[in-house]
Structure 1
Protein backbone atom coordinates (compact mmCIF):
# COMPACT_ATOMS: atom_id res chain seq x y z
CA UNK A 1 0.00 0.00 0.00
CA UNK A 2 2.76 2.47 0.99
CA UNK A 3 6.38 2.25 -0.07
CA UNK A 4 8.87 4.92 0.97
CA UNK A 5 12.41 4.95 -0.39
CA UNK A 6 15.24 7.34 0.43
CA UNK A 7 12.85 9.95 1.81
CA UNK A 8 14.51 13.21 2.82
CA UNK A 9 12.75 16.17 4.44
CA UNK A 10 13.72 19.81 4.75
CA UNK A 11 12.74 22.82 6.83
CA UNK A 12 13.94 25.64 4.64
CA UNK A 13 17.53 24.90 3.67
CA UNK A 14 18.06 22.51 6.59
CA UNK A 15 17.77 18.80 5.90
CA UNK A 16 16.20 17.08 8.90
CA UNK A 17 15.35 13.60 7.60
CA UNK A 18 17.85 11.45 5.76
CA UNK A 19 17.13 8.52 3.41
CA UNK A 20 14.21 6.93 5.26
CA UNK A 21 12.93 3.62 3.90
CA UNK A 22 9.71 2.00 5.07
CA UNK A 23 6.81 0.01 3.75
CA UNK A 24 3.28 -0.71 4.85
CA UNK A 25 1.03 -3.46 3.56
CA UNK A 26 -2.72 -2.90 3.33
CA UNK A 27 -4.53 -3.85 6.54
CA UNK A 28 -1.43 -3.43 8.68
CA UNK A 29 -0.45 -0.87 11.34
CA UNK A 30 2.91 0.89 11.49
CA UNK A 31 4.08 2.75 14.57
CA UNK A 32 7.08 5.06 14.80
CA UNK A 33 8.60 5.25 18.25
CA UNK A 34 11.24 7.63 19.49
CA UNK A 35 12.03 10.38 21.92
CA UNK A 36 10.95 13.99 21.46
CA UNK A 37 12.81 15.55 18.57
CA UNK A 38 13.59 12.22 16.91
CA UNK A 39 11.60 13.11 13.77
CA UNK A 40 8.31 11.24 14.07
CA UNK A 41 6.24 14.32 13.23
CA UNK A 42 8.58 15.24 10.40
CA UNK A 43 8.09 11.79 8.88
CA UNK A 44 4.31 12.22 9.06
CA UNK A 45 4.50 15.71 7.53
CA UNK A 46 6.81 14.48 4.78
CA UNK A 47 4.47 11.61 3.90
CA UNK A 48 1.53 14.00 3.42
CA UNK A 49 3.44 16.79 1.66
CA UNK A 50 3.50 19.37 4.44
CA UNK A 51 7.29 19.84 4.31
CA UNK A 52 9.75 19.97 1.42
CA UNK A 53 10.94 16.49 0.56
CA UNK A 54 12.77 14.34 -1.93
CA UNK A 55 13.00 10.62 -2.57
CA UNK A 56 10.02 8.40 -3.28
CA UNK A 57 6.63 8.05 -1.62
CA UNK A 58 4.47 5.52 -3.46
CA UNK A 59 0.89 4.98 -2.35
CA UNK A 60 -1.23 2.37 -4.10
CA UNK A 61 1.39 2.34 -6.91
CA UNK A 62 1.15 6.11 -7.41
CA UNK A 63 4.19 8.33 -6.85
CA UNK A 64 3.30 11.21 -4.51
CA UNK A 65 6.59 12.85 -3.58
CA UNK A 66 6.05 15.75 -6.00
CA UNK A 67 2.34 16.11 -5.23
CA UNK A 68 0.86 18.88 -3.09
CA UNK A 69 -0.87 18.03 0.18
CA UNK A 70 -4.43 18.39 -1.16
CA UNK A 71 -3.70 15.93 -3.98
CA UNK A 72 -2.26 13.46 -1.47
CA UNK A 73 -5.48 13.74 0.54
CA UNK A 74 -7.51 13.14 -2.63
CA UNK A 75 -5.38 10.05 -3.33
CA UNK A 76 -6.73 8.58 -0.10
CA UNK A 77 -4.31 9.51 2.69
CA UNK A 78 -5.83 11.12 5.78
CA UNK A 79 -3.71 13.09 8.24
CA UNK A 80 -4.33 13.98 11.88
CA UNK A 81 -1.76 16.60 12.95
CA UNK A 82 -0.37 16.70 16.46
CA UNK A 83 -1.38 20.31 17.08
CA UNK A 84 -5.15 19.89 16.62
CA UNK A 85 -5.65 22.25 13.69
CA UNK A 86 -9.34 23.05 14.10
CA UNK A 87 -11.20 25.90 12.48
CA UNK A 88 -11.97 27.66 15.75
CA UNK A 89 -14.76 29.95 14.57
CA UNK A 90 -16.67 27.11 12.92
CA UNK A 91 -18.75 24.74 14.99
CA UNK A 92 -17.95 21.05 15.43
CA UNK A 93 -20.29 19.88 12.69
CA UNK A 94 -18.99 22.46 10.22
CA UNK A 95 -15.44 21.27 10.93
CA UNK A 96 -16.49 17.68 10.30
CA UNK A 97 -18.25 18.55 7.07
CA UNK A 98 -15.09 20.23 5.78
CA UNK A 99 -13.41 16.83 5.80
CA UNK A 100 -16.35 14.99 4.23
CA UNK A 101 -15.68 13.09 1.05
CA UNK A 102 -17.32 10.16 -0.70
CA UNK A 103 -15.54 6.85 -0.13
CA UNK A 104 -13.03 5.72 -2.73
CA UNK A 105 -14.00 2.68 -4.80
CA UNK A 106 -13.44 -0.55 -2.88
CA UNK A 107 -13.53 1.12 0.54
CA UNK A 108 -14.10 -1.38 3.32
CA UNK A 109 -15.74 1.15 5.64
CA UNK A 110 -17.37 4.52 5.23
CA UNK A 111 -17.41 7.42 7.65
CA UNK A 112 -20.17 9.97 8.07
CA UNK A 113 -21.48 12.23 10.83
CA UNK A 114 -23.52 9.48 12.47
CA UNK A 115 -20.54 7.13 12.68
CA UNK A 116 -18.29 9.85 14.10
CA UNK A 117 -20.89 10.76 16.69
CA UNK A 118 -21.22 7.09 17.59
CA UNK A 119 -17.46 6.84 18.08
CA UNK A 120 -17.31 10.08 20.09
CA UNK A 121 -20.70 10.92 21.65
CA UNK A 122 -19.14 14.04 23.16
CA UNK A 123 -18.80 15.52 19.68
CA UNK A 124 -22.51 15.02 19.14
CA UNK A 125 -23.23 16.82 22.40
CA UNK A 126 -20.97 19.70 21.33
CA UNK A 127 -21.87 19.68 17.61
CA UNK A 128 -23.06 23.32 17.64
CA UNK A 129 -20.21 24.63 19.82
CA UNK A 130 -17.35 26.59 18.22
CA UNK A 131 -14.40 24.25 17.74
CA UNK A 132 -12.13 26.81 19.40
CA UNK A 133 -14.14 26.46 22.63
CA UNK A 134 -13.54 22.69 22.90
CA UNK A 135 -11.07 21.19 25.34
CA UNK A 136 -7.81 19.78 23.98
CA UNK A 137 -9.15 16.23 24.11
CA UNK A 138 -12.36 17.23 22.34
CA UNK A 139 -10.36 18.99 19.64
CA UNK A 140 -8.28 15.82 19.21
CA UNK A 141 -11.50 13.82 18.73
CA UNK A 142 -12.66 16.41 16.22
CA UNK A 143 -9.55 16.36 14.03
CA UNK A 144 -9.50 12.56 14.10
CA UNK A 145 -13.13 12.39 12.96
CA UNK A 146 -12.58 15.14 10.39
CA UNK A 147 -9.80 13.04 8.85
CA UNK A 148 -12.00 9.93 8.96
CA UNK A 149 -14.82 11.84 7.22
CA UNK A 150 -12.53 11.93 4.18
CA UNK A 151 -12.83 8.13 4.05
CA UNK A 152 -9.07 7.61 3.65
CA UNK A 153 -7.50 4.30 2.69
CA UNK A 154 -4.53 5.20 4.90
CA UNK A 155 -4.71 7.28 8.07
CA UNK A 156 -1.59 8.92 9.48
CA UNK A 157 -2.05 10.04 13.08
CA UNK A 158 0.65 12.20 14.67
CA UNK A 159 0.68 12.01 18.49
CA UNK A 160 -2.69 10.23 18.87
CA UNK A 161 -2.78 10.58 22.66
CA UNK A 162 -1.98 14.30 22.74
CA UNK A 163 -4.74 16.26 24.44
Structure 2
Protein backbone atom coordinates (compact mmCIF):
# COMPACT_ATOMS: atom_id res chain seq x y z
CA UNK A 1 0.00 0.00 0.00
CA UNK A 2 1.43 3.38 -0.99
CA UNK A 3 0.94 6.67 0.81
CA UNK A 4 2.77 9.94 0.21
CA UNK A 5 5.49 8.27 -1.86
CA UNK A 6 6.15 5.58 0.74
CA UNK A 7 5.59 1.86 0.35
CA UNK A 8 5.24 -1.01 2.77
CA UNK A 9 7.35 -4.10 2.23
CA UNK A 10 6.10 -7.65 2.79
CA UNK A 11 6.85 -7.37 6.52
CA UNK A 12 4.89 -4.12 6.84
CA UNK A 13 7.97 -1.91 7.16
CA UNK A 14 7.86 1.51 5.53
CA UNK A 15 10.37 1.95 2.71
CA UNK A 16 10.88 4.30 -0.24
CA UNK A 17 10.20 3.07 -3.78
CA UNK A 18 13.92 3.07 -4.57
CA UNK A 19 14.66 0.72 -1.66
CA UNK A 20 11.59 -1.49 -2.09
CA UNK A 21 12.49 -3.24 -5.30
CA UNK A 22 15.52 -3.13 -7.54
CA UNK A 23 15.18 -3.51 -11.28
CA UNK A 24 15.48 -7.11 -12.43
CA UNK A 25 18.83 -7.49 -14.24
CA UNK A 26 17.31 -9.96 -16.73
CA UNK A 27 14.50 -7.53 -17.54
CA UNK A 28 17.01 -4.72 -17.98
CA UNK A 29 19.12 -6.94 -20.23
CA UNK A 30 16.06 -7.72 -22.37
CA UNK A 31 15.68 -4.01 -23.11
CA UNK A 32 19.04 -4.18 -24.88
CA UNK A 33 20.34 -0.75 -23.90
CA UNK A 34 24.13 -0.46 -23.65
CA UNK A 35 26.81 1.97 -22.52
CA UNK A 36 26.88 5.32 -24.31
CA UNK A 37 23.38 5.08 -25.77
CA UNK A 38 20.96 8.00 -25.54
CA UNK A 39 17.49 6.85 -24.47
CA UNK A 40 14.55 9.23 -24.70
CA UNK A 41 11.61 8.93 -22.32
CA UNK A 42 7.97 9.81 -23.00
CA UNK A 43 4.94 9.97 -20.66
CA UNK A 44 6.83 9.67 -17.40
CA UNK A 45 4.50 10.03 -14.41
CA UNK A 46 4.74 9.32 -10.70
CA UNK A 47 3.74 5.68 -11.24
CA UNK A 48 6.73 4.98 -13.50
CA UNK A 49 9.23 2.48 -12.12
CA UNK A 50 12.09 4.62 -10.80
CA UNK A 51 14.28 1.58 -10.19
CA UNK A 52 14.02 0.62 -13.87
CA UNK A 53 14.69 4.20 -14.94
CA UNK A 54 17.80 4.34 -12.72
CA UNK A 55 19.00 0.97 -13.99
CA UNK A 56 18.68 2.16 -17.61
CA UNK A 57 20.66 5.30 -16.77
CA UNK A 58 23.32 3.22 -15.01
CA UNK A 59 23.64 0.77 -17.92
CA UNK A 60 23.91 3.54 -20.53
CA UNK A 61 25.92 5.96 -18.42
CA UNK A 62 23.54 8.69 -19.58
CA UNK A 63 20.52 10.40 -18.06
CA UNK A 64 17.24 9.65 -19.81
CA UNK A 65 16.51 12.38 -22.36
CA UNK A 66 13.17 14.12 -21.96
CA UNK A 67 10.54 14.74 -24.63
CA UNK A 68 12.15 18.04 -25.65
CA UNK A 69 15.45 16.42 -26.65
CA UNK A 70 16.12 16.95 -30.38
CA UNK A 71 19.38 15.07 -30.95
CA UNK A 72 19.80 11.60 -32.41
CA UNK A 73 18.64 8.85 -30.04
CA UNK A 74 19.41 5.14 -29.77
CA UNK A 75 16.23 4.04 -28.03
CA UNK A 76 12.95 5.15 -26.51
CA UNK A 77 10.82 4.17 -23.54
CA UNK A 78 7.18 5.21 -23.48
CA UNK A 79 5.23 4.80 -20.23
CA UNK A 80 1.74 4.19 -21.67
CA UNK A 81 -1.47 3.72 -19.73
CA UNK A 82 -5.02 3.17 -20.95
CA UNK A 83 -6.09 6.55 -19.59
CA UNK A 84 -3.24 8.47 -21.27
CA UNK A 85 -5.14 8.79 -24.53
CA UNK A 86 -6.96 6.83 -27.19
CA UNK A 87 -5.08 4.35 -29.38
CA UNK A 88 -4.86 6.88 -32.23
CA UNK A 89 -2.85 9.12 -29.91
CA UNK A 90 -0.38 6.29 -29.31
CA UNK A 91 0.27 6.35 -33.06
CA UNK A 92 1.20 10.04 -32.78
CA UNK A 93 3.48 9.33 -29.82
CA UNK A 94 5.18 6.50 -31.73
CA UNK A 95 5.75 8.78 -34.72
CA UNK A 96 7.17 11.51 -32.46
CA UNK A 97 9.31 8.97 -30.61
CA UNK A 98 10.78 7.53 -33.79
CA UNK A 99 11.48 10.90 -35.46
CA UNK A 100 15.02 11.16 -34.01
CA UNK A 101 15.60 7.41 -33.70
CA UNK A 102 18.86 6.21 -35.21
CA UNK A 103 18.67 3.24 -37.58
CA UNK A 104 18.61 0.08 -35.51
CA UNK A 105 17.15 1.86 -32.50
CA UNK A 106 14.22 0.40 -30.60
CA UNK A 107 11.09 1.76 -28.99
CA UNK A 108 9.76 0.13 -25.82
CA UNK A 109 6.12 0.78 -24.95
CA UNK A 110 5.76 0.08 -21.23
CA UNK A 111 2.29 -0.41 -19.77
CA UNK A 112 0.89 -1.63 -16.46
CA UNK A 113 0.88 -5.43 -16.24
CA UNK A 114 -2.16 -7.44 -17.24
CA UNK A 115 -4.96 -7.11 -14.71
CA UNK A 116 -3.64 -3.85 -13.26
CA UNK A 117 -5.41 -0.50 -13.45
CA UNK A 118 -4.70 1.25 -16.78
CA UNK A 119 -3.37 -1.92 -18.43
CA UNK A 120 -3.10 -1.61 -22.22
CA UNK A 121 -3.81 -4.79 -24.19
CA UNK A 122 -0.79 -5.82 -26.31
CA UNK A 123 -2.97 -5.92 -29.43
CA UNK A 124 -3.68 -2.18 -28.99
CA UNK A 125 0.05 -1.43 -28.95
CA UNK A 126 0.60 -3.76 -31.92
CA UNK A 127 -2.19 -2.07 -33.91
CA UNK A 128 -0.78 1.40 -33.18
CA UNK A 129 2.71 0.21 -34.14
CA UNK A 130 1.47 -1.05 -37.51
CA UNK A 131 -0.27 2.26 -38.25
CA UNK A 132 2.98 4.07 -37.33
CA UNK A 133 4.94 1.82 -39.71
CA UNK A 134 6.64 -0.13 -36.94
CA UNK A 135 6.78 -3.81 -36.05
CA UNK A 136 6.42 -5.45 -32.65
CA UNK A 137 9.24 -7.94 -32.12
CA UNK A 138 8.90 -9.11 -28.52
CA UNK A 139 7.19 -8.56 -25.19
CA UNK A 140 8.41 -9.08 -21.64
CA UNK A 141 7.82 -8.08 -18.03
CA UNK A 142 10.29 -5.27 -17.32
CA UNK A 143 9.46 -4.95 -13.61
CA UNK A 144 6.96 -6.24 -11.08
CA UNK A 145 4.25 -3.89 -12.34
CA UNK A 146 5.19 -3.01 -15.92
CA UNK A 147 5.16 -5.01 -19.14
CA UNK A 148 7.06 -3.92 -22.23
CA UNK A 149 6.56 -4.38 -25.94
CA UNK A 150 9.61 -3.88 -28.19
CA UNK A 151 8.98 -2.07 -31.47
CA UNK A 152 11.32 -1.44 -34.38
CA UNK A 153 11.04 0.98 -37.26
CA UNK A 154 12.07 0.09 -40.80
CA UNK A 155 15.58 1.17 -41.77
CA UNK A 156 15.53 4.49 -43.61
CA UNK A 157 16.69 4.39 -47.21
CA UNK A 158 19.61 6.67 -48.14
CA UNK A 159 19.06 9.07 -50.99
Q: With structure 1 as the length reference, what TM-score do the two structures score?
A: 0.33
Of structures 1 and 2, the one scoring higher in RCO (CA 8 A, sep 6+) is 1
